Amino acid sequence: MKNRVVVTGIGIVSPLGLDRQSTWHNLIAGKSGVAPITSFDTEGYRTTIAAEVKGFDAAAFVGRKEARRMDRFVQLGAVAALEAVEHAGLKVTSDNCTRVSIMIASGIGGIITLSEQVGVLGSRGPSRVSPFLVPMMLPDMASGQVSIMLGAKGPNYSTVSACSSGADSIGQALEVLQEGDADVVLAGGAEAAICPIGVAGFNACQALSTRNDDPKGASRPFDAERDGFVIGEGAAVIVMETLQSAVKRGATPLVEIVGYGSTADANHITQPAPEGEGASRAMKIAIKKAGLQPDEIGYVNAHGTSTPLNDKYETMAMKGVFDEEVYRVPISSTKSMTGHLLGASGALEAAITTLAISEETIPPTINLKNADPECDLDYTPHIARQGRINAALSNSFGFGGHNASLAFQRYEE
């Protein structure tokens, strides 16, 4: 019989706040974290807005020397992990360290460090390139650094599946815990790609919103006038553990994670499969593995990127899962406020789904002003909604045709 798996801690660093409480407060208030980009000069760029993390100082948490040896995505992931550990009341000791695993994903990794050092190479020559370039740019380094910081010696790796990375990390952690290969896993995602080459690259493939004159209204999932996603940065890490481990530690389960579905579109490098076929299968697999029926799902945190095809096909995918019941299911895209955190988005949205269940509050989808006739579901427009949620899904889909869906359930003894 597989182990039951619960969430006992959450850590968040996001465009809405530097911890889980401020992020949740601003999310439920319907505030946007999108603003003009401040991290570099955007003259000449088609997109000049993003959802940046403001006021973040990693040195205050990990020390100045260590912070200088971390790319920004690693800094964000490390600080989120430290908050999650504190929230869970977890102590990693010589007695349990081999049973504590770290799985913090990143879709892109240290692109800021890489781009800066390419500049150094061009202007100052190969001898001036930093010896920390490689260990700072590797996508697995948030996982590696957190393992070193905590002394955690269990399974340690980073999934890379574009914008599904964070969700896949949590799904992989679920399976590791269910099989008994670890007692505790810190799982999640971290991303920091708001830099000249990052924005230019997404502009080149016409993925980003160019609504520069209205930053806070730019991310508008399921709206008829949506024109692309808003790039964001940040990290979210959750402490997952077997129920036996949580009970033994005296930890308080926030929710139970009960299912994970992963599929491929095998369709196109950037576009989702027509009618959301792959996304629909991922949701169905997650629900089946959870031992649930579709009519038991009381909330869906949608991938909801604010791109024309994603929102249309995700809506069709949900109709394929829930049939006529789909119109009663509350849905929201919290990317309308946080922007799209790329490889960290699935982790942040899993954390948000956990909070939605435990706090009995459904976050809103803001900026939904002009309904798209092809997106006609209950997206919880503008205002958060109170209500008990017994089971929920969180969806993440990525370039390359990756689809991941996570199923959560209210914890019952």
How far is residue 351's CA from residue 363's CA, in Å, rounded to a whole number?
A: 12
All CATH 3.40.47.10 domain ranges of the chain, comma separated, are 5-249, 260-409
CATH for 260-409, options being 3.40.50.150, 3.30.70.60, 1.10.357.10, 3.40.47.10: 3.40.47.10
How far is residue 19's CA from residue 240's CA, in Å, rounded to a whole number?
A: 18
pTM for this entry: 0.97
- CATH assignment, 5-249: 3.40.47.10
Q: What mean pLDDT is predicted for residues 200-223? A: 98
Q: Tell me: the pLDDT tens digits for 390-409?
A: 999 999 999 999 999 999 99
Helical spans, DSSP H, in 132-276: 133-137, 141-150, 165-178, 196-204, 243-249
Q: Tell me: the pLDDT tens digits for 271-284?
A: 999 999 999 999 99
- Note if 163 is an active site residue: yes
What is the end-to-end Cα distance of the chain in Å, rounded?
Answer: 17
Q: Tell me: the pLDDT tens digits for 158-182?
A: 999 999 999 999 999 999 999 999 9
Could you tell me the pLDDT band of residue 1, with boundaries at 50, 70 and 90? confident
Quick check: 141 pLDDT over 90? yes
How many of the other CB atoms lie within 10 Å of CB of 272? 28
Type of residue found at 94: S
Q: Tell me: the pLDDT tens digits for 84-98?
A: 999 999 999 999 999
pLDDT at 232: 98
Could you tell me the pLDDT band of residue 413, with boundaries at 50, 70 and 90? confident
Q: Which of 163, 195, 205, 375 is catalytic?
A: 163
